[in-house]
Chain A
Amino acid sequence: MSKRVIVDPITRIEGHLRAEVIVGDDGVVQDAFVSSTLWRGLEVIAKGRDPRNIPLMMQRICGVCTYSHYLKSTMAVEDALGITIPYNAELVRTLMNAALFMHDHVVHFYHLHGVDWVDIVSALSADERKASELAFKYCDNPIGTGENELKLVKEKIAKFAKNPQGLGPFANAYWGHKTFKFTPEQNLIALSHYLKALEVQRTLAQLMAIFGGKQPHPQSLVVGGVTCVMDILNPARMGEYLVKFQGIADFINNAYYPDIVMAAEMYKTEPSVMKPMGVKNFMAHQDFMVGRGEYLFNSGIIMNGDLSKLLEIDEDMITEEATHSWYKNDKALHPYNGETEPNYTGFVDGETVGPDGEMVKTKQIDESKKYSWIKSPRYNGEPMEVGPLASILVGYVSGNTKVTAVVDGFLAKTGIPTAALFSTLGRTAGRMLQAKLIADNALIAFSNLIENLKVDQETCATYIIDKDKEYKGRGIGDVPRGMLSHWIRIKNGVVENYQAVVPSTWNAGPMDSKGAKGPYEADLIGLKIQDLTQPLEIIRIIHSYDPCIACAVHVMDTKGNKLSEYKVDPLYGECSI
């Protein structure tokens, strides 16, 4: 008889996420549902505010991709007001973006996704000399894999492992699970990089802070450009960026890249990792300007995994609907016209597989009705996967030579076919390839900035907001988790309507009115789970998308919200913004 398994909370992500799967006697997932369990209502809050305040407010959608929403929200206001920002500002934004992408991808692979691939306990039985030699198989100049270094790593973890109380954040995980495929030596190499990456992420945060003032939540973008003019005119500051960047690029090429090559070698026969994706439609948007008219990322749509055809994006075809989301209006609407009125219907009582395998009474979602705070975005009625893999595939099909260089190099090195990219492994590899693309090419923007500063020191355009005019605009592009768009309408000088269509919404959304599933849910179906009490296969697939759930449940439209239904402090009633 089929059983229901709940994984809640899904940890090592941003936000609050729950997965429920129905599993047959053979351990194979027959159906899957993913639910976000937090709503913050920023959409309602944005309404009526000064548009200049919105980018900093939208930045607070997420502290992990801390720059993405800041940037796209600023671009949305600029698009609405018809502002062209100075070239210097474009390039500085790109340099900050480079810091964000590399930060996000490194932290995601090592600290969030890493222990889905790496069995830390197994590393304890590694032979450090063998491991040190093995590292050269995957890379000519490996980092952090000298015999002595590995010995220290092992000793450190051995001490940690001796005392069960000392395991702290590593306690009670899935060590020894059958789907872990690395040898002890490979686990030790990756573990050394896990620790190294903790240092690297600090440097990456500094890289952002050089032009951003701080990280998380940098504070140097304004509508019209950037404010960090003193930093870019200071050669020592520019040098600081350059040197730090090069150190990071070294880590990406000589630790992150070889680790993924190693994962490809060992996991390419593991069915739970190589299972073909459920949704093979990909969408990505042009972004990452490194020079005039020169971008690292391309725009386009790939349908049904057909790499021979690239379709153009028509923004009017983007809709969001709420058939299975906790909102009132179920209709599929374009972001400019969206409606969002909360309608929480909650959980029902049920019996699901408990921590020791026995059935226990729990709450469960009612999938015939509404079950998530995330909406279902569709393009021309179809679900789409967005993210680094989508961007890499679209770039590849576009014939972007910078992209084809990294992809072909990786396929040659690993010997896996292109079709193997349509898998959990492919998604995880795509993220690394995007980090490499940036590590190898983002300094083009740096050189262009230096060149341009010789003749032009403009960093910010001026503008006015005419209170008698109505404006609408959007900021759209690819951020570390995929295609992100912010949509704004301005009237009487304040925000009339605001909506963001976020990468994790595309990927994590529930079923639509036709019963078609989004990428997360579709990917889980057909997955074989070894041990129902240790659902590592489920969280590995979900982590491969790099979920950002506070992002997914965020800002939608403001129309038609009957706030009187909520307890609103009367003090706030008279607040005019």
Chain B
Amino acid sequence: MKDSNLFDKLSFRLEELSNLPKIDDGVSISTLIEEKGFSRREFMGWAAAMTSMLMLPASFTPLVAKAAEMADRLPLVWLHMAECTGCSESLLRSSSPTIDSLIFDYISLEYHETLMAAAGWQAEQNLEHAMEKYKGKYILMVEGGIPQGESDFYLTVGAHGKTGEQHAKDAAQNAAAVFAIGTCSSFGGVQAAAPNPTNAQPLSKITDKPVINVPGCPPSESNIVGTLLHFILYGTLPALDIYNRPKWAYGLRIHDACERRGRFDAGEFVQQFGDEGAKKGYCLYKVGCKGPYTFNNCSKQKFNQGTSWPIQAGHGCMGCSEPDFWDTMGTVHEPLANRLYHTTFGGLGSDATADKIGLGLLSVTAVAIAAHAAISVVKKPKV
């Protein structure tokens, strides 16, 4: 689609949204931004950064800014399944300027077990109330894998002992959009690692509704907020990869934008943690970095207001936004290429067809990388 067509389409969508009633008539997000001490200029700067993150042309910045202002039309329900609350914690971290969190302060967070003041019956009432009042309008975000079928009893919530599976199903039924936040909700996560004793399943296996996966353990808050903005802008599913991850966030291979990529190309590798190469920031491939097989924007976005990311801290990528990475990525401190493929990519995964394709691609890449690593070391024996 041509940029101008897309621009018109998005403008129309925002126009439509702006006609919807706001949750809170008292305040607009622009006034809230001012109250929080941000100038319009800073806000536009943030919008420009988000625009580029969403892989939109720079001319779309005003639309992204407007989309952020439309966030007050969206009630949000956040459910906790079999999880560790890391994704909720990530949500609290926010980027600088803290507009990400502003959106979350500002969006009507109708139900979130970690943050809400009400408990017990009152909490349950809040959930029922939100699902009834905002039927078809609320955004559902789910954190955690979901014990399913005959194993559904591994999670119950509420006085009536309703299973997590039923909660997720019901909440998804009347949601305007459904997002699986984190690797557990997207792909099952750590509890679904072999042999998956509780039969934990991804959200997409629980509901018939389309689910957008925002994996990562946990995903950065930028990816969570970006997904939301994208929905506001388009009102439809974003372009997705074979694992239903938004391409704007997960289209990039960690390895391709890695700050240590030059070291890889030069054949300079850390041989073991703490060695001279580690002090100089050499490539971590030989101590197990899974950056070449992992699709996410960590190498560009980093974490905690750009403070750092695992590779900067001298530890390889563990591949945490890939399906079933606990089972498919091998030993964390050994390169994958040293291992046999039938054991590491042995037909695991939620989608066998996708897996076979992924297997082929990854094998070719991995072999090429291993060969490259070997050759470059032989060619340039640097210390």
**Contact surface of A with B, Cβ cutoff 8 Å:** 6-16, 37-42, 44-45, 50, 52-53, 56-57, 60-64, 66, 86, 111-112, 115, 120, 156, 159, 162-163, 165-166, 168-174, 198-199, 201-202, 205-206, 208-220, 222, 224-231, 233, 342, 344, 346-347, 352, 354-355, 362-363, 457-462, 533-535, 539, 550, 561, 563, 566-569, 571-577
Contacts and interface: CB of A to CB of B under 8 A. Distances in A.
A550 B94 contact: no
Contact of B194 (A13, A171, A219, A577): A577
12 contacts: A11-B118, A45-B193, A62-B84, A63-B88, A165-B23, A169-B112, A171-B117, A171-B118, A209-B303, A227-B313, A362-B160, A535-B120
A542 to B, nearest CB: 9
B274 interface: yes
By Cβ-Cβ distance, the 10 closest A-B pairs, closest first, are A63-B86, A460-B274, A213-B313, A173-B117, A227-B314, A41-B197, A214-B303, A363-B161, A355-B121, A7-B120
B80 interface: yes
B59 to A, nearest CB: 32
A199 B158 CA distance: 32
B197 A45 contact: yes
Interface in B276-302: 278-279, 281, 302
A363 B160 contact: yes
A473 B282 CA distance: 33
B257 interface: no
A40 B82 CA distance: 7
Contacts of A7: 119-120
B86 A572 contact: no
A9 B123 contact: yes
B89 A209 contact: no
B305 A202 contact: yes
Contacts of B343: 576
Given A12-B116, A566-B195, 11 more contacts: A11-B114, A16-B155, A41-B191, A45-B193, A52-B332, A66-B86, A171-B126, A214-B303, A229-B278, A346-B161, A575-B327
A16 B305 contact: no
Given A9-B158, A60-B190, A202-B98, A563 B195 contact: yes
Given A11-B119, A165-B108, A354-B121, A575 B348 contact: yes
Interface residues of B, number: 95
A230 B313 CA distance: 7
B180 interface: no
Interface stretch (B40-48, B145-153, B237-245, B356-364): B145-153
A102 B331 CA distance: 33
A63 B150 CA distance: 27
B23 A205 contact: no
A217 B88 CA distance: 12
A567 B199 contact: yes
B310 A214 contact: yes
A220 B303 CA distance: 14
Nearest to A567: B199
A212 B308 contact: yes
B331 A219 contact: no
Given A41-B191, A45-B195, A206 B304 contact: yes
B303 A9 contact: no
Nearest to B284: A227
Interface string B103-130: 0000111101111111111111110000
Interface string B65-84: 00000000000000010111
Given A213-B310, A220-B315, A233-B279, A205 B304 contact: yes
B153 A52 contact: no
Contacts of B24: 163, 165-166
B239 to A, nearest CB: 27
Contacts of B155: 16, 37-39
B85 A63 contact: yes
Most buried by A among B112, B123, B274: B274
Interface string B179-197: 0000000000111011111
Contacts of A60: 84, 86, 189-190, 217
B58 interface: no
B333 A16 contact: no
A10 B120 contact: yes
B313 A217 contact: no
